[in-house]
Amino acid sequence: MLELPEIYKKHLEKQFNYPQYLILLILLNLLQNLKTVRLEELARRSPFPIKLKSRIVKLQRFLSLKQFNIKTLWFPIISSWIQEELNCGEVIEIVIDQSQWRSINLLMVSWIYNRRSIPIYFCLLPKKRRRGDGETSTNHRQLLAASGQTRKVSPIHPRARSTRKGTRPKQEIVI
């Protein structure tokens, strides 16, 4: 069975009651092993001793719990992780990336850590992106408004400096 890091465990145990926490662990293990996100397949492979349709409904109800909110579930985890990993005065990089996949236009804010991009926040944009239409900065403002921020990208730390490398805006935060 998958062993979660202590930061995750501590926060998830606060957010969910014990049966919900166990279902979450089972679901995470299924996702790790199956490498698929189809609800029917997850329900088919889940160890619950109930009919397949009942398993699907159980998973749907579980995934629609109010606890599955990025601001209450993910922000405290990522904030604790950053505070634990970084030393005072160290600079971290926050990247804003806008991508389009088929009809889905996604704006993503990520933390660069050990040459990996750790997602912090995302926003689905209402329409397809067109090159050169001048809407990128408008979309970034939409993301900031959605995250409750006005002048800074990250809700993790108030001292953020903005830099730009190439076409991608980057936020640097000094802890």
For the stretch 129-151, pLDDT in tens is 555 555 555 555 555 555 554 33
Centroid of chain to Cα 12: 14
| Radius of gyration of the CA atoms of the chain, in A | 19
3-state SS class at 133:
coil
The confidence score (pLDDT) of residue 86 equals: 78
- Report the candidate in 18, 24, 26, 25 with the shortest Cα–Cα distance to residue 47: 26
The confidence score (pLDDT) of residue 58 equals: 93
Sequence ranges of the domains in the chain: 6-63, 88-174
pLDDT at 8 over 80: yes
Per DSSP bridges, beta strands 91-101 and 104-113 are antiparallel
Structure tokens at 143: 């993301």
Query: What is the pTM for the complete model shown?
Result: 0.65
- Report the candidate in 105, 109, 155 with the shortest Cα–Cα distance to residue 125: 105
The confidence score (pLDDT) of residue 123 equals: 81
The confidence score (pLDDT) of residue 166 equals: 47
Mean pLDDT of 83-104: 80
